[in-house]
Structure 1
Amino acid sequence: MAYVHGYAERESERLNDQAGALVELLHHDTAYPAGSRVLEAGCGVGAQTITLAANSPEAQITSIEISPQSLAVARERVTAPNVTFEQADLFSFRAEPFDHIFVCFVLEHLRDPYAALRRLRTLLRPGGTITVIEGDHGSAYFHPESDAANDAIDCLIKLQSGDAKIGRRLYPLVSEAGFGSVRVSPRMVYVDASKPELVDAFTLKTFTAMIEGVREPALAGGLIDADRFDRGIADLAATETFSYTFFKAVADRD
C-alpha cells in the first residue's frame, strides 16, 4: 500500500486539523464500555486515537500502524493510559479476538479493502462490532463551481492507490465481508461564511490542503499542468460554500 499523501510533518498537521474539525460529526456516537478490548486498525499519527481514548476512557485500545514514521508521531502525541501502540500490518497482525474494531480512513488506501475487512473479521469475537469510517471524494460540492478545482481533485482520485470514492461502497463491502446488521449513515460537512472555524479547519486546512499535497506527483505524472492545478487550488480556497460527505458503517460479527 502506498500512502498518496506521504508522511511529511505537514501531512501530520493536516490529519490533526481534520480530526479536530470532525470530532462531533464522526465520533459523537462511538463509545465503548469499560473493560472492552478495542482494536484501532491503521491509527496513522493518532489523530483519531485521541478522541477514541477520550470517549472510552475505561476501554483498552490497541492501535496498530504499519508506518514507523506515523507510529512515532502517534506515540508522542497520544498519552492516554488506555492506549497501547504496536507496529503491525493488519493482514499479519495476531492477537486474541477483540470486542470491537475501529477503522477510519484506511480502506480508501488499500487495493483490496474487501480482503482487509475479511481479515479484520477474524480479529473480532462473535457478537462484537466493527466501525468503519471513510470519505468519498466524489461527494465534494462547492460554489462557485470550478472546472479547474474539479480537475485538481481528480488528480488525487487518480493517484490514490485504493478507491478515493469508497464511502459510497461501504454497505456492500462490509456486508459481503461477512458482517451482519450493517448500518451506514452519511455524515455531511457543510461550510459557509457563517462557520469561519470550519472554513479554516475543514475547507482550507483539511480538504484543500489534501488536494494541494498531491501537486508534485500530479505534475510529474502529466495528469495536469501547473497553472491549471494552481488555479484549482485557488478556486477551492475561495469557495463561498463547500460540502463533503463521509460515511460511517457499524456492523456486527454474527
Structure 2
Amino acid sequence: MRVDFPRYVHGYSGPEARRLGDQADVLAGLLHAGTRFPAGSSVLEVGCGVGAQTVHLLAASPHIELTAVDRSAESLATARETVARRFPGAHVRWLHADLFDLPATGFDHAFVCFVLEHLPDPVAALAAVRELVRPGGTATVIEGDHGSAFFHPRSTAAQATIDHLVGLQAAAGGDGLIGRRLHPLLCAAGLREVVVEPRTVYVDGSRPGLVDGFTRNTFIAMVDGVREEALAAGLSTPDEWDRGIADLHRAAGQDGTFHYTFFKGTAVRA
C-alpha cells in the first residue's frame, strides 16, 4: 500500500543531520535506558533517517539482526556510512521503503523514534508496525512534545517561535505535540500491555554538556531551522523571530533553565 507522507518540516540539510546526531548522542542515556534486545533477535527500526538512533540501538544490543528502513535514499546512505564508521562489524539490512510497503514481517521487536510526529495517521502507522512484529513481539516508540518546553527567563517572543514550529508541523500533516497522545495511539493500534513513561530533560547552568548538547544544539537549532519557512508563511517578521531566538538563548545562559519531556512507550503484539 502506497501512502502520501507529509513533507518533513525540518528538511534534509547537512546542519539538520548534525542536529539529529547531536540530539541522539546527548540523549542516548535518557532515551535508550531500558532498551536491550537479546542477541540474535530480529529488530526493525522504522524511519532510521541518518542513523542517529541506529548507532545507539547497536551500542546497547550489538548482536541483534537489525533491519533499518527509511523513505529517503539520501538519509539511508548517510546512515550506512555512520554505522560502518562506528560499528564496522554490525549486521544491518538497509531498506529504502515505506513502512506500509515493507517486504518482510515476523520481526521480534520494532523500534520507532521521532517518526509518528511527522505522519498524518499515526494509528495506521502503528497498526502497520504491529503487523510487522510476530505475536508476542514488542514495539518501542519514542516521541517528543514541544508543548512540554518551558524555560526561564519567560518570554512571549520565544514561546511564539516554538508555537510557529508546532503550527508549521501541523500544516505539513504532522503533530509536534504527539508525545502526550502516545498511550491512546498505541492502544488504538491494537497493541497490548501498553506502558508509557516520561523521560524528562532538565537543564541549568550546572549542566554545561546539556546546555550545549540539548538546549542550544538540539532544541533551539530545531526551532531556528524553520525560520525561513515561518517568515515565508507570514507567521513572524524577521525582527520578531530573531528576538524570540535570542530569548531562547537566554535560557541557555548561566542564569537560565530549560525543561522538555519525551515520552517512551512499550507494547506487545497479542
Q: Does 1:215 align with 2:227?
A: yes
- Could you list the structure 1 runs, at least 4 aligned residues long, displaced by more than 3 angstroms after superposition: none
Q: CA deviation at 1:42?
A: 0.2
Q: CA deviation at 1:97?
A: 1.2
Whether the 8 Å CA contact 2:134–2:269 is kept in 1: the answer is: yes
Q: Does 1:28 align with 2:28?
A: no
Taking structure 1 as the reference length, what is the TM-score of the superposition? 0.99
Alpha-carbon distance between aligned partners in 2 of 1:66 and 1:88, rounded to the nearest angstrom: 5
Which residue type is aligned with residue 247 of structure 2? D
Q: CA deviation at 1:82?
A: 2.2
Identity %: 59
Which residue type is aligned with residue 31 of structure 1? R
Whether the 8 Å CA contact 1:53–1:82 is kept in 2: the answer is: no
Which residue type is aligned with residue 109 of structure 1? H
Q: Does 1:179 align with 2:188?
A: no
Give the superposed CA RMSD: 0.7
Alpha-carbon distance between aligned partners in 2 of 1:201 and 1:130, rounded to the nearest angstrom: 28
Which residue in the other structure is 1:130 paired with? 139
Which residue type is aligned with residue 203 of structure 2? V
Residues 83-132 of structure 1, C-alpha deviations (whole Å, 9 max, x = no match): 22111110111203100000000000001111101111110100000000
Alpha-carbon distance between aligned partners in 2 of 1:211 and 1:67, rounded to the nearest angstrom: 22
Query: Which of the residues 185, 191, 202 maps onto 2:203?
Result: 191
Q: CA deviation at 1:209?
A: 0.1
How many corresponding residue pairs?
254
Which residue type is aligned with residue 157 of structure 1? V
Alpha-carbon distance between aligned partners in 2 of 1:145 and 1:70, rounded to the nearest angstrom: 36
Which residue in the other structure is 2:269 paired with? 253
Q: Structure 1: where are the runs of 5+ without partners?
A: none
Which residue in the other structure is 2:59 paired with? 54
Whether the 8 Å CA contact 1:44–1:67 is kept in 2: the answer is: yes
Taking structure 2 as the reference length, what is the TM-score of the superposition? 0.93
Alpha-carbon distance between aligned partners in 2 of 1:102 and 1:82, rounded to the nearest angstrom: 16
Whether the 8 Å CA contact 1:68–1:87 is kept in 2: the answer is: yes
Residues 170-224 of structure 1, C-alpha deviations (whole Å, 9 max, x = no match): 0000001000000001000000000001000000000000000000000000011
Query: Which of the residues 135, 144, 149 maps onto 2:153?
Result: 144
Which residue type is aligned with residue 54 of structure 1? A
Which residue type is aligned with residue 29 of structure 2? E
